[in-house]
Structure 1
Amino acid sequence: MTTQTERTLVNYNVTDGVAIIELSNAPANTYSYEMMSQLDAAILRARFDEQVHVLLLRGAGEKFFCAGADISMLNEVTPAYKYYFCLHANETLVRLEQTPKLVIAALNGHTVGGGLEIALACDIRIARRNAGKIGLPEVNLGVLPGTGGTQRMARALPKNKAIEYMAEGKLMSFEEALELGLINYIYESEHYWEQVLDYARSFCPPHKAARTVGRIKRSVQSGAEVTLAEGLALERELQQLCFQSEDAKEGIAAYVEKRKGNFSGR
């Protein structure tokens, strides 16, 4: 899975239905092609694992979620390499975004540049209070946010605000990002990771119909990019898959019987 001295740059383990994917490249968890290849492999591994219901991304350590691409590496490689590096990174994040399982980003530290671009490809973002800054400052390097940043930021914020933050290279606090709707929650530093894990587990059986959660995600992620008529058609097809599931039978029966549903993920 690795090509550069067989270094492990992405740690992967599964607990209680949650695949924990950890970016690990001290000190700032910057990514290279090698890390993106390992992230790509981890996403596919989680996709195919029927015991995995939620993907949870985090950065190793406490200071950084991810500070983006390895600038020293970019300074040394050819323009052609940079192009294919960005292309592969884009393909990896599209794979993450289109995976029909909920993806949560645990922003445990600074989330800047390509790190925010990774987080923007996730479905829900939870930050640790006072743990760092967030933003897309690539303009200061004379380049644009080229791993989906210009596109996903403009879909997460009003276009004028997206242009403002990217053109100015502005970093913001997690609190400001929360107000803008760029992140979903801020958890206190104490017990942060335990709270994030508890939240992730809440989408797994028996608490939630996990496949339905994944289909909601697919309907939104894919439907938002097509016409309303096409989006409604996609929604109907996904709804039919839900109707045929054991979890839909259980959820409807539980409602009628006035009890809590006990979902199996099937």
Structure 2
Amino acid sequence: MSYETIRIERKDKGVVWVTIDNPPANALSENLMNDLEQLVDELSSDRNARVVVLASANEKIFVAGADLKGMIAGGSQFAGNESGISEQSGRMQKCFDRFATMPVPVIAAINGHALGGGCELAMACDFRIMAQGRGKIGLTEVSLGLIPGAGGTQRMTRLLGRAKATELIFFSKRLDAQEAFEVGLVNKVTTPESLEEETLDFAEELAEGAVRAMGLAKEAINAAEGSIEEGMNVEANAFAQTFKTGEPGVGLAAFFQRKKANFLPKK
């Protein structure tokens, strides 16, 4: 298959190294979403793929999250159409969830910032390995008057527990690699120079194991967490509701002006 925004390299032992390359910032654009959906279709049915690694061609950014300029430019098509907004949220949820349910281990090699949707994609992977000093990770949507809309409220709560997830989401906290490791958001911290090597070693160790059994164990682990579908539906609808509050207009405007958003009512 051909892709516009990703490159695939097949390594030894069935490791598939996927490099996301969507300049300038690896934003989750329409083209990248199309490629990710096609990728998960291809790899889910590929018996030679034993472990999948998601990495980035951008030296400073893993994945930047939603294409905010595209969101604003296309916002008029969703005016008064909450179902259209929730459908866009639902599309990202479903795509990321397919990585979470892929029947082989999936690893995120985080070389830089993984904020918003980038964090949500990373959390859909089974393991997260992050380079220290290159960037931060977190769900920052509330600072824009939005909420995580690609599964973030569900996955962070399942990973870290309600109390820590609430703190990180409400305050839009950005964690460096060591902070993320200490709370359990990432599994391993490396130097930037050794990220690829250590991730590949980690992937090959997994690939040498019983990956089919791992896939079945993954299915059982997901089932133990309760119904994520219901939570995803609630999140998508709540994401759509944020556009009725007026807060995204404040938050997004401040973001592009490089200012801190002030959501207090004007006197």
TM-score, structure 2 normalization: 0.78
Residue 122 of structure 1: aligned partner = 125
Shift of 1:35: 1.0
Q: Unaligned 5+ residue runs, structure 1?
A: 227-266
> Matches of residues 46-195 of structure 1 in structure 2 within 5 Å?
46-77=43-74, 78-79=77-78, 80=81, 81-195=84-198
Equivalent of residue 14 in structure 1, options 10, 22, 43: 10
Aligned residue identity for 1:216: A
Task: Quote the Cα distance in structure 1 between the aligned partners of 2:193 and 2:117.
Answer: 27
Q: Is the 8 A contact 1:29 1:64 kept in 2?
A: yes
Shift of 1:29: 0.7
Q: Is the 8 A contact 1:203 1:213 kept in 2?
A: no
TM-score, structure 1 normalization: 0.78
Q: Is the 8 A contact 1:58 1:107 kept in 2?
A: yes
Task: Quote the Cα distance in structure 2 between the aligned partners of 1:34 and 1:218.
Answer: 29
Aligned residue identity for 2:171: E
Residue 226 of structure 2: aligned partner = 225
Shift of 1:179: 0.4
Aligned residue identity for 1:214: G
Q: CA RMSD of the aligned region, Å?
A: 1.7
Q: Is the 8 A contact 2:120 2:150 kept in 1?
A: yes
Q: Which has the higher contact order (CA 8 A, sep 6+)?
A: 2
Q: Is the 8 A contact 1:33 1:85 kept in 2?
A: no
How many residue pairs match? The answer is 220
Q: Is the 8 A contact 1:11 1:22 kept in 2?
A: yes
Q: Deviations over 1:182-213 (max 9, x none)?
A: 11000122232012111101112xx3112112
% identical aligned pairs: 36
Aligned residue identity for 1:65: F
Shift of 1:85: 2.2
Which entry has the higher C-alpha Rg, 1 or 2?
1
Q: Unaligned 5+ residue runs, structure 2?
A: 228-267
Runs of 4+ more than 6 Å apart: none
